[in-house]
Chain A
Amino acid sequence: MFSTLRQSMAWVHTWFGLVLGFLLIVIFFFGSLSVFDREIDRWVLPETRFEPQIMPSYEGILEQAFNHVAPETDELAAAKMRVEGELPEQLQIMNWGAYTTHRDPTLYLYAEYAVPNNPNDPFDHIHGYATIDPRTGAFLPKDHLKIGSEFFYPMHYRLYLHWENLGYIIVGVAALIMLVALVSGVIIHRKLFREFFTFRRHKHTQRRVLDLHNMTGVVALPFHFFFAFSGLVIFAYIYLPVSATVLQTPAFAAAQEEAKDKGLAFAPAGQSAAIASVDTMVVAAKRLWSERGMPGDVGYLFVNHPGDINSYVSIYRAGRDAVSLVGQGIHFNSVTGELIYQDPDPTAISIINEFLTGLHLQHFEHWLLRWLYVIGGLMGCICIATGFIFFVEKRKRDSQQVTTVRWVDAFAVTSITGMLLATMAILVANRLLPVDLEHKGSWEIRAFFMVWLLSLGHAFWRSNIVAQGLISPAWREQCWGVALLSVLAVLLNWTTTGDHLLKTLFNGYWPVASMDLVLLTLSGLSIKVALSLRQREGDALLLMEQG
């Protein structure tokens, strides 16, 4: 593109980094929050503030619960548009499953339902989801949003966009650009090792910001590369669906062959049969794991073709003590209860894949590493944020780039302090809205996006002085907003649940105690930044007046 490699890479780094950076900072921030999604869930849903549970009894709890799961209403409505004629009143259940980790007090259930009469897709199906209290089998109300795992987490991997796979694709492009930004960043910075240790705190803003950008980028380089890369691998089947398109024929043949080899029925027979005791199968699976020298709990329980004579039950061991999510699957005939097949030890390629995905999704137990993930993710946010500020600082005295600089500064405010404001707003809304409000979760999400939109408006309104070389007051004002809302969230948690910080700390109830502590720390930091910004705004003004 340009005459030298470094010039070309500098262009790629600057412009792709800038444009996709606004997405990347969102992805990094909500990824960092998702590390503690289950704990955030407990903060927002006081009825789930009890200890994590193991997979409950099938006969005692799960069977009845599965029978009460229903197709999601929006998926059902969409399916009605795709089929020829009417959809049957009761859809055939294809399979159901339950997944839990060592951090889940509640249990997540899902079911798949066959959609017949779709001329374009003979395997068309829709889903049903539910969350239950595994101690009683009681269903959590659908409109009680698990803000950690059902909002912050989907913000991380699909920006909470619902239309087709758009959200996944946008995040995929951003992740690819993250890889590209890292590669091009390394190429343009020749003195990589020195930048590890360079932070000239007392130099002027532009130099200091660039130092911080380089330092966070270089120190956390392997971390950032790993997460962008493994994130792409996790959703590779969405980004490169070759097996569902150009290779459909060989892929389908291979899947059938594999099912036949393992003795696991690929399709239901259409003849109903009663299910044997699944609890007995769980006991047998646990015994087999012990015999293999790896005793453990059930992480994932799956019933294929329930109620059919071809039905089978798959039981997977929870990966609490391993990087891979779940493993050592054991499959039983649902009708006779006999063992059909045990998964062999994974191959080298599977081990690499399970290691990468497991390390990204981290369902294993390692609290120190969990916190390091948060720090790494936030370093990514700092790296991107300082990239924006450097962009503005470098160009704000250039009269030809007034509009660009103003836009970038306003978007930077929105994507940094604005995102924090919106995050605080959803937590405050969660505590303020009445528990029995219909569609409570949707109102919380509206509060989030409304506040974010307001912060965008505010940032643009206040950014007109950036072109004069001054600092937009929007930064400082939104910092005060964050400081206020985060303290308010802590106070509201106290008044609405009675679980104040002293109580949760004294009882060692860390999920809620840590949340409150993080919110208070954020408030303190925001105040510090706001005060320091006021100082600098004054300095910049003085400098301008002196000419």
Chain B
Amino acid sequence: MSRSSGLAPLYLIDRIASSMVGGYLFVWGFTTLGITLGVWLGMPYLEAQTLLYLLAFLVYASVFCWGFTVQRTAVVWTVLAGGGVAMTLLGWCLGRFYLT
């Protein structure tokens, strides 16, 4: 089980990237959307940013571990990268059109 040689290199790269890169995109979206939602709900901008920075790495560590417990990496990519891109877009729209 702890032998790395039992796992194909391409599979490993995909596995690690899905949690690491996918997780990063997810946290990026989470932070973007979180800040804009906070501001939208009446928080000062810097306050919302501080709050999201406090939460971001707890979320990252959690989704990173979660990624390795899922059988298929396609699921990890969809949820993390897909969710991240969607939240980033939503946050960007909110910031661009409703907050300024």
* Chain A contact residues, CB within 8 Å of chain B: 1-2, 5, 7-12, 14-15, 173, 175-176, 179-180, 183-184, 229, 232-233, 236-237, 240, 242-243, 246-247, 249-251, 253-255, 258, 347, 349-350, 352-353, 356, 400-401
Q: How far is the CB of A168 from chain B (nearest CB, A)?
A: 14
Q: How far is the CB of B65 from chain A (nearest CB, A)?
A: 6
Other-chain residue from A2, A175, A350 in contact with B50 (beta carbon distance below 8 A): A350
Q: How far is the CB of A157 from chain B (nearest CB, A)?
A: 15
Other-chain residue from B15, B49, B70, B100 in contact with A243 (beta carbon distance below 8 A): B49
Alpha-carbon separation in the docked complex, A356 to B55 (Å): 13
- In the complex the two chains form, is B57's CB within 8 Å of A233's CB? yes
- In the complex the two chains form, is A236's CB within 8 Å of B57's CB? yes
Alpha-carbon separation in the docked complex, A179 to B53 (Å): 16
Known contacts: A11-B1, A246-B95. The answer to whether A240 contacts B56 by CB under 8 A is: yes
Which A residue's beta carbon lies closest to that of B43?
A349
B25-61 vs A: 1/0 string, CB under 8 Å? Answer: 0011001100110010000111101110110111011
- In the complex the two chains form, is A236's CB within 8 Å of B68's CB? no
Alpha-carbon separation in the docked complex, A250 to B84 (Å): 20
**Total number of A-B contacts with CB less than 8 angstroms?**
110
Which B residue's beta carbon lies closest to that of A249?
B100
Other-chain residue from B68, B71, B100 in contact with A250 (beta carbon distance below 8 A): B100
What DSSP secondary structure best describes chain A's contact surface? helix
Q: How far is the CB of B100 from chain A (nearest CB, A)?
A: 5
Q: List 8 A-B contacts (CB under 8 A).
A: A2-B1, A180-B61, A180-B64, A236-B53, A254-B39, A349-B51, A349-B54, A353-B50
Chain A residues near B56: list those with CB within 8 A.
Answer: 232, 236, 240
- In the complex the two chains form, is A350's CB within 8 Å of B47's CB? yes
On chain B, the number of residues with a Cβ less than 8 Å from chain A's Cβ atoms is: 42
Chain B residues near A255: list those with CB within 8 A.
Answer: 45
Chain A residues near B53: list those with CB within 8 A.
Answer: 233, 236-237, 240, 353
Alpha-carbon separation in the docked complex, A179 to B65 (Å): 10
- In the complex the two chains form, is B50's CB within 8 Å of A246's CB? no
For the A-B complex with A183-B62, A233-B54, A246-B95 known, give 6 more contacts whose Cβ atoms are closer than 8 Å. A236-B57, A242-B49, A243-B35, A247-B36, A249-B95, A250-B45
Which B residue's beta carbon lies closest to that of A353?
B50
- In the complex the two chains form, is A8's CB within 8 Å of B31's CB? no
* Chain B contact residues, CB within 8 Å of chain A: 1-5, 15, 20, 27-28, 31-32, 35-36, 39, 44-47, 49-51, 53-54, 56-58, 60-62, 64-65, 68-71, 88, 91-92, 95-96, 99-100
Q: How far is the CB of B23 from chain A (nearest CB, A)?
A: 9
Known contacts: A10-B2, A246-B91. The answer to whether A251 contacts B57 by CB under 8 A is: no
- In the complex the two chains form, is B100's CB within 8 Å of A253's CB? yes
- In the complex the two chains form, is A242's CB within 8 Å of B69's CB? no
- In the complex the two chains form, is B54's CB within 8 Å of A352's CB? yes
Chain B residues near A246: list those with CB within 8 A.
Answer: 32, 88, 91-92, 95
Chain B residues near A183: list those with CB within 8 A.
Answer: 61-62, 65
Other-chain residue from B20, B47, B71, B91 in contact with A247 (beta carbon distance below 8 A): B91
Alpha-carbon separation in the docked complex, A183 to B2 (Å): 18
Alpha-carbon separation in the docked complex, A156 to B68 (Å): 29
Q: How far is the CB of A218 from chain B (nearest CB, A)?
A: 18
- In the complex the two chains form, is A254's CB within 8 Å of B46's CB? yes
Q: How far is the CB of A270 from chain B (nearest CB, A)?
A: 26
Alpha-carbon separation in the docked complex, A361 to B40 (Å): 33
Which B residue's beta carbon lies closest to that of A237?
B53
- In the complex the two chains form, is B64's CB within 8 Å of A247's CB? no
Which B residue's beta carbon lies closest to that of A1?
B68
Alpha-carbon separation in the docked complex, A176 to B44 (Å): 28
Known contacts: A15-B4, A250-B95. The answer to whether A179 contacts B61 by CB under 8 A is: yes
Alpha-carbon separation in the docked complex, A311 to B35 (Å): 31
Chain A residues near B2: list those with CB within 8 A.
Answer: 10-11, 14-15
